[in-house]
């Protein structure tokens, strides 16, 4: 039966040699290699749940009056967009489940990409011949952040409107091109023309998903063509020979299990744990804002950066040259993404290491890289924490302005400390290993 089918397909596609190779393609085994896979499954889930939501979402900002099932907003003025999201949440059966699963999946998607990036960074998996693969991955992280922002901006609730006002201000603050760019994208000054939300919508459901999908395909094709990296656990693993489990039968049930586990957890979150209850925020109006507004976690580093920058615009002769939001909202992410994205080339420039690498470093094996990575992580993470200083004030009563001044000092001092401490720890670990090795060899020798 199976033979018949395979022959039938092969006679018509000539695919058997390729499939045979693919079935015995080797996957080295380590839990951290599965992070990228989880991100892939989340992308699939996002496309599926997102497609379902498009059947009910209305991308119009035309005002209407709400007379739906949610009594507290009865009679409120709002856009059709916001009304349709309330409809999905309260009137469409399984609508809230799919909407919350979509939102959760976006949050976990970005988190998984970040963890995957850290795994690749700290093990040196980005080195030649995989530097392009890495750069494509960093590009997808950037697109995922943008995609998430566009997604929650579409709802046209109070929080999304505030987020868009900030996005508009950051766009406006870009030197020279800011004002033309912002008014082009928005179709006029904020909140923009009636075409703005449909533009946002098509970017969220078509343009950026297609970009991510295309880069993802390229990323996976490059991974497969160079094969996976591996840790050196036994003498069998070398720079020239890869050791692991074949796609079939070994890897397939594991991957299917991971896929089902990922989707299962996300559906449980979507059904049981409330996220972005948009009906509580109310509709957006230019003159309204709410206190305690926090974006989704993956934009926390940007709100933190915007809050940390002290009060100043660059002004020449009464004319503003660089408005304040540029520093935290545009320059900071640009610097972070440049360092992260160009790291393989920076490291090659410093170390002069132009060799091929299929064997991974353990983080301790390269103390300087691990130190630099920790410094960058601590820097971004502190800025991220600074974004929650207002919540910390509410919980613990710590003065907001004192916290901000503390963070302004910490973001400069802590990364430097993190670099030296991490490098030292790595070196000590290596020295300890060498000492242990010397001791065991000596003991072995004395037994002889």
Contacts (CB under 8 A) with other proteins, residues 220-279:
225-227, 236, 239-246, 249-250, 253-254, 256-261, 263-272
From the CB of 198, what's the least distance to other proteins, in Å? 12
User: How many angstroms separate the CA atoms of 293 and 34, rounded?
Assistant: 34
| Contact track, other proteins, 296-315, x by CB under 8 A | -------x--xxxxxxxx-x
User: Measured from the CB atom, is 209 or 295 closer to other proteins?
Assistant: 295
| Contact track, other proteins, 80-109, x by CB under 8 A | -------------xx-xx--xx--------
From the CB of 33, what's the least distance to other proteins, in Å? 15
Which two structure tokens, joined as six digits, stand for 74? 């009865």
User: Measured from the CB atom, is 24 or 439 closer to other proteins?
Assistant: 24
Count of positions on this chain that bind other proteins (CB under 8 A): 107
From the CB of 188, what's the least distance to other proteins, in Å? 6
User: Measured from the CB atom, is 225 or 446 closer to other proteins?
Assistant: 225
Q: What is the largest CA-CA distance in the chain?
A: 90
User: How many angstroms separate the CA atoms of 156 and 197, rounded?
Assistant: 9
Please list every residue from 174 through 213 that binds other proteins, using CB under 8 A. 174-193, 195, 199
Asked if 446 interacts with other proteins (CB under 8 A), we say: no
From the CB of 125, what's the least distance to other proteins, in Å? 14
φ, ψ of residue 26 to 5 degrees: the values are -100, 130
Contacts of 34 (CB under 8 A, 6+ apart): 258
The residue within the footprint of other proteins, chosen from 322, 372, 380, 410 (CB under 8 A), is 322
User: Measured from the CB atom, is 15 or 187 closer to other proteins?
Assistant: 187
From the CB of 249, what's the least distance to other proteins, in Å? 5
From the CB of 287, what's the least distance to other proteins, in Å? 3
Please list every residue from 369 through 428 that binds other proteins, using CB under 8 A. 390, 400-401, 404
Asked if 437 interacts with other proteins (CB under 8 A), we say: no
The residue within the footprint of other proteins, chosen from 324, 342, 385, 427 (CB under 8 A), is 324
For residue 396, the surrounding DSSP H or E stretch is helix 389-396
From the CB of 297, what's the least distance to other proteins, in Å? 17
Contacts of 367 (CB under 8 A, 6+ apart): 422, 423, 424, 426, 427, 430
Which of 88, 95, 102, 98 is CA-nearest to residue 42?
Answer: 102
Which of 199, 156, 168, 151 is CA-nearest to residue 285?
Answer: 156
User: How many angstroms separate the CA atoms of 78 and 67, rounded?
Assistant: 11
Do β-strands 63-65 and 77-79 pair in parallel, antiparallel, or remain unpaired? Answer: antiparallel
| Contact track, other proteins, 19-58, x by CB under 8 A | -----x-x--------------------------------
Which two structure tokens, joined as six digits, stand for 236? 């069998």
Which two structure tokens, joined as six digits, stand for 106? 């976006």
Which of 300, 330, 302 is CA-nearest to residue 391?
Answer: 300
Which of 154, 169, 186, 161 is CA-nearest to residue 330?
Answer: 169
């Amino acid at each position: 039966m199976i033979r018949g089918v395979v022959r039938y397909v092969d006679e018509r596609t000539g695919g058997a040699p390729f499939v045979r190779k693919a079935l015995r393609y080797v996957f080295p085994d380590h839990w951290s290699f599965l992070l990228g896979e989880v991100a892939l499954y989340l992308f699939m889930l996002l496309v599926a749940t997102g497609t379902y939501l498009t059947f009910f979402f209305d991308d119009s900002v035309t005002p209407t009056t709400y007379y739906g099932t949610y009594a507290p907003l009865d009679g409120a003025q709002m856009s059709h967009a916001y009304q349709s999201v309330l409809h999905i949440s309260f009137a469409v059966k399984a609508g809230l489940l799919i909407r919350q699963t979509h939102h959760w999946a976006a949050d976990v998607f970005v988190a998984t990409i970040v963890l995957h990036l850290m795994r690749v960074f700290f093990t040196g998996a980005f080195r030649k011949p995989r530097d392009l693969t890495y750069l494509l991955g960093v590009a997808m992280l950037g697109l995922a952040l943008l995609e998430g922002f566009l997604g929650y901006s579409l709802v046209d609730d109070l929080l999304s409107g505030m987020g868009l006002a900030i996005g508009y201000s950051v766009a406006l603050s870009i030197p020279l091109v800011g004002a033309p760019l912002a008014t082009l994208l928005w179709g006029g000054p904020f909140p923009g023309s009636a075409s703005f939300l449909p533009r946002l919508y098509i970017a969220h459901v078509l343009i950026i998903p297609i970009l991510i999908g295309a880069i993802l395909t390229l990323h996976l094709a490059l991974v497969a063509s160079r094969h996976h990296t591996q840790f050196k656990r036994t003498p069998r693993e070398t720079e020239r020979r890869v050791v692991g489990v074949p796609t079939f039968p070994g890897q397939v049930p594991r991957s299917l299990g991971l896929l089902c586990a990922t989707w299962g957890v996300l559906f449980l979150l979507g059904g049981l744990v409330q996220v972005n209850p948009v009906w509580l925020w109310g509709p957006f109006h230019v003159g309204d804002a709410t206190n305690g507004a926090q974006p989704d976690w993956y934009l926390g580093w940007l709100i933190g950066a915007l809050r940390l920058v002290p009060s100043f615009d660059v002004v020449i002769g009464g004319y503003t040259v660089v408005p304040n939001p540029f520093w935290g909202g545009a320059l900071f992410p640009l610097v972070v993404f440049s360092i992260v994205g160009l790291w393989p080339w920076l490291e090659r420039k410093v170390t002069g290491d132009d060799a091929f690498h299929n064997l991974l470093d353990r983080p301790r094996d390269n103390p300087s890289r691990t130190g630099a990575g920790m410094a960058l992580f601590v820097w971004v993470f502190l800025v991220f924490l600074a974004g929650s200083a207002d919540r910390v004030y509410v919980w613990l009563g710590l003065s907001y302005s004192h916290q901000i001044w503390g963070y302004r000092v910490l973001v400069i001092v802590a990364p430097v400390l993190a670099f030296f401490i991490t490098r030292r720890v790595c070196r000590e670990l290596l020295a300890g290993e060498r000492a242990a090795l010397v001791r065991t060899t000596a003991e072995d020798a004395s037994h002889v």
